[in-house]
Structure 1
Amino acid sequence: MSATPGRIRVIGGQWRNSRLEVPDLPGLRPTPERVRETLFNWLMPVISGARCLDLCAGTGALGIEALSRGAASVRFVERDARVAQALRGNLLRLKMPGGEVSTLDAAIYLQGAVQAFDLVFLDPPFALDLWGGLAERLEQGGWLAPRAWVYVESPRDGAPALPAGWALHREGAAGEVRYALYRRVES
């Protein structure tokens, strides 16, 4: 089942098949259902009780999917006020506990008070090429738990430069998108 314009659905967990309202804005690129299904199959053993960060959240589909599947909490960071408001609206309408939305640029958020996360979704707008800088801030700034998982979505034609301590666990491709799950390796 594919998303209709302006709507996507939660594909698993407690809120399975719930619809999410999505603003029709240029550059907003929800993670496809097939990719989310694969990712959360990979994460099934670790998602329950996880503290998550959905950095560059956009629609929030990844973080909402995590909450639906048992994550303890998700901090959504989205710089566009309209998109952040739609995300807040979806969380309220579905009565999803554990989700908090920050309307900030991801780099500015990572300059704030540090909290270590078990799982980070890193899916910035492709045109801005933010992977390396944000990944380095996550790694160096204390934002990752010692054995954290980091999901990275990027253009299919190449993997972004990421910290040396991030070991590739699994990866795949769908259309023009490369998706990969990394495990932070303690030094």
Structure 2
Amino acid sequence: MAKPSQSQRQGQIRIIGGQWRGRKLAISDSIGLRPTSSRMRETLFNWLAPMIQDARCLDCFSGSGALGLEALSRHAAEAVLLEYNDRVAKQLLLHLAVLKAKNAQVIRTNTLNWLARPCDRPFDLIFLDPPFHQGLLSYAIPLLEQQSWLSDEAWIYIESESSYNLEMIPSHWRLQKEKIMGQVVYRLFIREWFCHQRRF
């Protein structure tokens, strides 16, 4: 029997909480695809427990969809998943169909181009987990503010290499939680809109 090619090999993500708890979904072994681990997701969604229900979520660099799908499982009102890779985006659409998730959409797009347009309806929760070592956070974070993608008191999750410099974080984003796992650091910020407004 022929050995599967790299493009054919698949891994899995497991939804760890909510209505789809325990469901396993296949993910392609695509270059740069780095799903947030189950352990990290469990910690993150414990952090998000006070606000996740009915939240409107934007998963900016969706990849495996682990974050957006976990949010939907825990009764987020809506999730928009942005993904550049066509094959990965099609797999995300398949996941939504399997889960019968009608309150979500996958947009096949360059995330930075998508964020550069004006927003007509802001989000309550933003997931920023881009491919590492490409400087994408330095472009995405300012666009979230400049184009009004954030609700007044939005929560922003950032997963990055541990060397990422926090200088790009707006001063009115308050660091709520932070944890380091190996070479990865994950942080949760809350946007303090009223503090921001008082400065003007």
Matches within 5 A, 1:19-168: 19-114=24-119, 115-160=121-166, 161-168=168-175
Q: Name the Cα RMSD after superposition.
A: 1.4
In terms of Rg, which structure is larger?
A: 2
Note the C-alpha offset of 1:96. 1.5
Report the AA paired with residue 130 of structure 2.
P
Note the C-alpha offset of 1:5. 5.1
Alpha-carbon distance between aligned partners in 2 of 1:132 and 1:65, rounded to the nearest angstrom = 26
Note the C-alpha offset of 1:95. 0.9
Please identify, of 95-104 and 151-160, the stretch whose mean Cα deviation from structure 2 is larger: 151-160
Alpha-carbon distance between aligned partners in 2 of 1:71 and 1:151, rounded to the nearest angstrom = 15
Q: Percent identity?
A: 45
Residue 59 of structure 2 contacts residue 68 of structure 2 at CA under 8 Å; is this kept in 1? yes
Residue 159 of structure 1 contacts residue 178 of structure 1 at CA under 8 Å; is this kept in 2? no
Residue 118 of structure 2 contacts residue 147 of structure 2 at CA under 8 Å; is this kept in 1? no
Report the AA paired with residue 42 of structure 2.
E
Alpha-carbon distance between aligned partners in 2 of 1:17 and 1:112, rounded to the nearest angstrom = 37
Q: Residues 2-55 of structure 1: CA distance to partner in whole angstroms, max 9, x if unpaired?
A: xx9511100000000111111111110000000000000000010000000000
Structure 2: runs of 5 or more not aligned = 1-8
TM-score, normalised with respect to structure 2? 0.88
Report the AA paired with residue 133 of structure 1.
Y
Alpha-carbon distance between aligned partners in 2 of 1:148 and 1:13, rounded to the nearest angstrom = 22
DSSP 3-state at the match of 1:158: coil
DSSP 3-state at the match of 1:107: helix
Residue 10 of structure 2 contacts residue 26 of structure 2 at CA under 8 Å; is this kept in 1? no
Paired position in structure 1 for 2:184: 177
Residue 118 of structure 2 contacts residue 148 of structure 2 at CA under 8 Å; is this kept in 1? no
Q: Does 1:9 align with 2:14?
A: yes
How many positions carry a matched residue from both structures?
184
Note the C-alpha offset of 1:129. 1.3
Residue 170 of structure 1 contacts residue 181 of structure 1 at CA under 8 Å; is this kept in 2? yes
Report the AA paired with residue 108 of structure 1.
N
Note the C-alpha offset of 1:113. 4.9
Alpha-carbon distance between aligned partners in 1 of 2:76 and 2:127, rounded to the nearest angstrom = 13
Q: Structure 1 stretches (4+) deviating beyond 6 angstroms? A: none
DSSP 3-state at the match of 2:170: coil
